[in-house]
């Protein structure tokens, strides 16, 4: 009698250099695939092999451990009943899916309910999903929503993208094409269509204009900016955010969404959880004495709320996306001179340029880590496991040095300020 699979065998199966399978009864097997860039821990997939019309056929039954051994066997039993009735299980599944998810809108709704999978980033933040859903409603739903997804052609999608391009919105056109590609990719996976028109259109949209955030990076200009910020007269939370931004140089969304619970007062650190970071990785920001002082000044104002920088209308929502930029405009800095994101460029530029003698004062890896930049080499990044506290001692010293440096520039009245190094 052929040996059957056990839960332990499924659980303990480890990826190898090549795919291999573990067989069970009634045509059921577990395919174990190797480690890859997309699946750094490997992947295990259930397969049901059967014959219909004299041909060998294969049906996917889900991923282990989402589908355990018992459920996989139950699914095989159900598929064999369909076979016993003289029908092809694969054809029956396709027909059921077409009835349930026949239109483009039905597939799109399923796509968003799944959290927008089938892209480079499998775990998207709710705000990103919401923005994608809004773009879908604005540009794709009206024209394509009621069409059977299998009938949508390259020309149908191209007409939509052409209108967006002609309106001068190149960035939007690229985003809509990419969104459509992922929705169609789900349809292909569900075997609702065999084509992906958006994939065919890749590379046909004019190149987007690279957007660079305006930033002040020259020492003689940083001082006046910091003095202007000190004199800003507005909502206390906005004043504090504006003063803190150059000291911590995080992304604007990470700053405005800061929570008091994320502040580690004992260690003078701001620990931002992965779900609030661009790359879904926890980030530690060592807080200088100046940054701690700003936060303590703000505690009597917003300390009773979860958010450090709550909005004026609702204390349960943070200050808006454009709050820092609007404050900078009030201070007389145009969008071509300085932006909230520009504080990151300011810190990156100056820290990389600082030298002690003929050597850099700060290692580039330390600066990039504090900026929460990830290794651009995707393969290397898989094996170079991320540590949110990497270089933490050097980063702590750098952050205090940076705050002291900004204080020097802010108090210096001469037109040119140079860093003195020993």
Which residue reads 């496991």 in tokens?
385
| Res 155: pLDDT | 93
- pLDDT of 422 over the 60 cut: no
Per-residue pLDDT band for 121 (boundaries 50, 70, 90) equals very low
Give the pLDDT score at 380. 47
Q: Which pLDDT value is given to residue 379?
A: 44
Q: Is the pLDDT of residue 332 over 50?
A: yes
Structural domains of the chain, ranges and CATH numbers in brackets: 7-93 (3.30.160.390), 104-200 (1.10.150.130), 219-411 (1.10.443.10)
Q: Which two tokens stand for residue 69?
A: 């051994």
Model confidence over 36-83: pLDDT tens digits?
Answer: 766 777 889 999 999 988 888 888 888 888 889 999 999 899 889 988
Question: In sequence order, which residues have a C-beta less than 8 Å from that of residue 419 and are 6 or more positions away?
Answer: 219, 354, 405, 408
**Rounded CA separation 182/140 (Å):** 13
Q: Which residues are catalytic?
A: 251, 278, 341, 344, 373, 383
The closest of 128, 362, 370 to 253, measured between CA atoms, is 128
Distance CA 144, CA 278 (A): 31
CB 281 within 8 A of CB 386: yes
| Per-residue model confidence (pLDDT) at position 383 | 44
Q: Tokens at residue 125, please?
A: 């933040």
**Which tens digit of pLDDT belongs to each residue from 289-331?**
999 999 999 999 999 999 999 988 888 889 987 899 999 999 9
Question: Which residues neighbour 150 within 8 Å (Cβ) at sequence distance 6 or greater?
Answer: 98, 187, 192, 193, 194
Please give the Cα distance from 84 to 78 (Å, whole number).
10
CB burial of 182-208 (b: ≥16 within 10 Å; e: otherwise) equals bbbbbbeebebbeebbbeebeeebeee
Q: How confident is the model at residue 94 (pLDDT cuts 50, 70, 90)?
A: low
Confidence of residue 116 (pLDDT cuts 50, 70, 90): confident
Locate 112 and state its tokens. 């968003």
- Tell me whether residue 239 is exposed, middle or buried, using C-beta atoms within 10 angstroms of its C-beta: 0 to 12, 13 to 18, 19 or more: buried
Residues of the chain above pLDDT 90, percent: 54
Confidence of residue 35 (pLDDT cuts 50, 70, 90): confident
Which tens digits make up the pLDDT trace of 242-301? Answer: 999 999 999 999 999 999 999 999 999 999 998 888 777 899 999 999 999 999 999 999
């Amino acid at each position: 009698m052929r040996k059957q699979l056990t839960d332990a065998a499924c659980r303990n199966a480890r990826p190898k250099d090549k795919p291999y399978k573990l067989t069970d009864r009634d045509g059921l097997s577990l395919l174990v695939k190797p480690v890859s860039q997309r699946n750094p821990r490997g992947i295990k997939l259930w397969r049901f092999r059967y014959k219909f019309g004299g041909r060998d056929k294969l049906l996917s039954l889900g991923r282990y451990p989402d589908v355990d051994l018992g459920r996989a066997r139950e699914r095989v039993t159900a598929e064999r009943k369909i076979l016993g009735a003289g029908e092809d299980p694969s054809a029956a599944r396709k027909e059921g899916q077409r009835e349930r998810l026949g239109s483009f809108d039905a597939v799109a709704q399923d796509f968003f309910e799944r959290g927008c999978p089938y892209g480079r980033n499998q775990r998207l933040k709710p705000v990103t999903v919401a923005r994608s859903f809004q773009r879908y409603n604005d540009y794709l739903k009206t024209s394509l929503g009621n069409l059977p997804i299998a009938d949508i052609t390259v020309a149908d999608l191209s007409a939509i993208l052409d209108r967006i391009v002609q309106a001068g919105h190149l960035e939007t056109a690229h985003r809509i094409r990419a969104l459509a590609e992922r929705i169609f990719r789900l349809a292909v996976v569900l075997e609702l269509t065999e084509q992906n028109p958006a994939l065919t259109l890749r590379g046909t949209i004019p190149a987007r204009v690279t957007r660079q955030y305006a930033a002040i990076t020259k020492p003689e200009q940083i001082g006046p900016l910091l003095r202007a910020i000190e004199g800003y007269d507005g909502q206390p939370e906005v004043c504090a955010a504006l003063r803190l931004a150059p000291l911590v140089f995080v992304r604007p969304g990470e700053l405005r969404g800061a929570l008091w619970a994320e502040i580690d007062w004992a260690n003078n650190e701001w620990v931002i959880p992965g779900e609030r970071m661009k790359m879904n990785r926890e980030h530690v920001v060592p807080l200088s004495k100046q940054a701690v002082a700003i936060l303590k000044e703000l505690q009597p104002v917003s300390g009773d709320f979860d958010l450090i920088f709550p909005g004026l209308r609702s204390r349960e929502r943070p200050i808006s996306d454009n709050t820092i930029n609007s404050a900078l405009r009030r201070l007389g800095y145009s969008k071509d001179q300085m932006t909230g994101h520009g504080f990151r460029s300011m810190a990156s530029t100056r820290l990389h340029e600082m030298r002690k003698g003929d050597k850099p004062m700060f290692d580039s890896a330390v600066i990039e880590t504090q900026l929460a930049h990830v290794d651009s080499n995707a393969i290397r990044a898989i094996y170079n496991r991320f540590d949110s506290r990497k270089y933490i001692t050097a980063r702590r010293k750098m952050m205090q040095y940076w705050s002291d440096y900004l204080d020097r520039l802010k108090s210096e009245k001469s037109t040119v300020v140079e860093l003195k190094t020993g």
